[in-house]
Chains A and B, each alone.
Chain A
Amino acid sequence: MMKQKYLFSIALVGLTTLFSTMTFAEEHVVAQHSKSFQIDGKKIETMTVKIGDVIRFKNEDPFFHNIFSLSDLKTFDLGSFPKGQSKTVTFDKAGMAEVECAIHPEMYMEVSVQ
């Protein structure tokens, strides 16, 4: 009985330590608005995320947008999607990714993954 209690305490301490040091992946929402990338209504050209974080690109313009990157860090093409729809990208390695809209090249941002 004493042995079981002892093992249970060790497991509890281990799990507490694990959760306290773990960082959970976050989801960041970036709006595509007025042909720019925006967070909370403000235009952004750079943003920093942690390894494993997800960016959700949400089209708020009344026309189609695209999201792509041809960066060494991550290459992707999310196609084109209309107002109200969103697409996600997971950044799973450290480095810098250039993200653009192929349809509207003035929409450009850099994502620093740390």
Chain B
Amino acid sequence: MYRKLLPNNFGQKILLATCLCLIGTSALAADLSHYLRPVEIPQPDNNRITPQRVELGKMLFFDPRLSGSNWISCATCHNPGLGWSDALPTAIGHGQKILHRSTPTILNTAYQPLQLWDGRARSLEKQALGPIEDAGEMAQSIHKSVDKSGNLIDELKALKGYRDTFEAAYPGEGITKKTIAKALSSFQRTIVSSDAAFDRWIKGDKKAMSKSALRGFKLFEGKANCVKCHSNFNFTDNGFHNIGLEDATDAGRYAIRKVNILIGAFKTPTLRDIALTAPYMHNGAYATLEEVVEHYNLGGISKANLSPNIKKLNLSKKEKADLVIFMKSLTGKPIPVIYPMLPVE
């Protein structure tokens, strides 16, 4: 499966050059090559993607036995049918506890150097076990039994299906914290966006984007200033900004790096498949993209420690609608996901 997800970037560049020649007189005829899909999915040398690793990671991702309750899987919150998120303002964790941040989509997370809203995990491998062990999220003990519910490694080792799949994916490495994290990361690296209308337009299909979407793109790069943070193929600068939400309780990135401009700053999320991942923002404050655009039009709500990139925009009603239409053009056709069979013995 993962091979199909690797595009031929050379071909894309040829097509883009043709497209740019065709629209050479247009106001949008700038170099747009930075919006092209990267040639390869980023992956570390010690955990290259293989079909066996992706298969194992997928099994673990969908297996509710990864949680202490044996009831919550990674896919409970990162639901492929809901844009790999959960359609909730903020996540619900162990014991139905409502958590204080929204579930970020895992779509295209392979392209992000830092993981989680506050960027505290420097790789997918370092992030993978966090939610499993977190008492508020999946509340699972990975290698030590703290109560009669046992621990994850013993539970996996008891199942021949898992023993065989781990051996095929990571020969001789066994079932360990490391191989669990590596397998989950391998699977997540294959969750990448499909081509959306915007991509087809970039590659030369002049009819792929409506006039409204094209006006929205021009605003996105110009008057509305969105591109200052939502840049490049994944529509994120992978950076951290305080965007002026009314949320005085969450320090955000500042909890990780004690630098004043990071108070209330969170990672810029991707805009890929954005139509599928409502509600929006780290705290799920907005139910629709129209509300999001209005937030930025006002220059944010709270001005405390506001990013200097954010200013009042004075957008007209039509301009706001165009921006929403453009953002929707970043949503591709969902890739069907087949639920894996999980080992029972």
- List chain A residues, Cβ under 8 A from B259: 66, 68, 70, 77, 102
| Complex-state Cα separation, A25 to B119, whole angstroms | 37
Q: Which listed residue, B228, B257, B308, B309, touches A102 by the CB 8 Å rule? A: B257
| Complex-state Cα separation, A63 to B227, whole angstroms | 10
Count A-B contacts at CB 8 Å: 49
CB distance from B254 to the nearest CB of A (A): 9
By the criterion CB–CB under 8 Å, are A105 and B239 in contact? Answer: yes
CB distance from A97 to the nearest CB of B (A): 15
CB distance from B34 to the nearest CB of A (A): 10
By the criterion CB–CB under 8 Å, are B237 and A80 in contact? Answer: no
Q: Is A95 in contact with chain B by the CB < 8 A criterion? A: no
By the criterion CB–CB under 8 Å, are A63 and B262 in contact? Answer: no
- List chain B residues, Cβ under 8 A from A77: 259-261
**B228, B229, B238, B259 interface centre (most CB from chain A within 10 Å):** B259
By the criterion CB–CB under 8 Å, are A102 and B237 in contact? Answer: no
- List chain A residues, Cβ under 8 A from B261: 66, 77, 79-80, 102-103
By the criterion CB–CB under 8 Å, are A106 and B238 in contact? Answer: yes
The DSSP consensus for interface residues of chain A is loop
- List chain A residues, Cβ under 8 A from B127: none
CB under 8 Å from chain A, chain B span 206-243: 228-229, 237-241
Q: Which listed residue, A35, A64, A68, A106, touches B308 by the CB 8 Å rule? A: A64
CB distance from B77 to the nearest CB of A (A): 25
By the criterion CB–CB under 8 Å, are A105 and B258 in contact? Answer: no
Q: Which residue of B lies closest to A66 (CB)?
A: B261
Q: A66-B259, A77-B259 are in contact. Are A104 and B239 (CB under 8 A)?
A: yes
Q: Which residue of B lies closest to A65 (CB)?
A: B239
Q: A64-B308, A80-B308, A82-B308 are in contact. Are A102 and B262 (CB under 8 A)?
A: yes
CB distance from A6 to the nearest CB of B (A): 60
Q: Which residue of B lies closest to A104 (CB)?
A: B239
CB under 8 Å from chain B, chain A span 37-80: 62-64, 66, 68, 70, 77, 79-80
| Complex-state Cα separation, A69 to B1, whole angstroms | 43
By the criterion CB–CB under 8 Å, are A103 and B257 in contact? Answer: no
By the criterion CB–CB under 8 Å, are B309 and A63 in contact? Answer: yes
Q: Is B307 in contact with chain A by the CB < 8 A criterion? A: yes
- List chain A residues, Cβ under 8 A from B239: 103-105
25 A-B residue pairs with Cβ-Cβ distance under 8 Å, sorted by A, are A62-B228, A63-B237, A64-B307, A64-B309, A66-B259, A66-B261, A68-B257, A68-B259, A70-B259, A77-B260, A77-B261, A79-B261, A80-B261, A80-B308, A102-B257, A102-B261, A102-B265, A103-B237, A103-B239, A103-B261, A104-B238, A104-B239, A105-B119, A105-B240, A106-B238
Residues in A lying within 8 Å of B, measured CB to CB: 35, 62-64, 66, 68, 70, 77, 79-80, 82, 102-106
Q: With A102-B253, A103-B239, A105-B113 given, can you name 9 additional A-B contacts, CB distance below 8 Å?
A: A66-B261, A68-B259, A70-B259, A77-B260, A102-B240, A102-B257, A103-B241, A103-B265, A106-B238
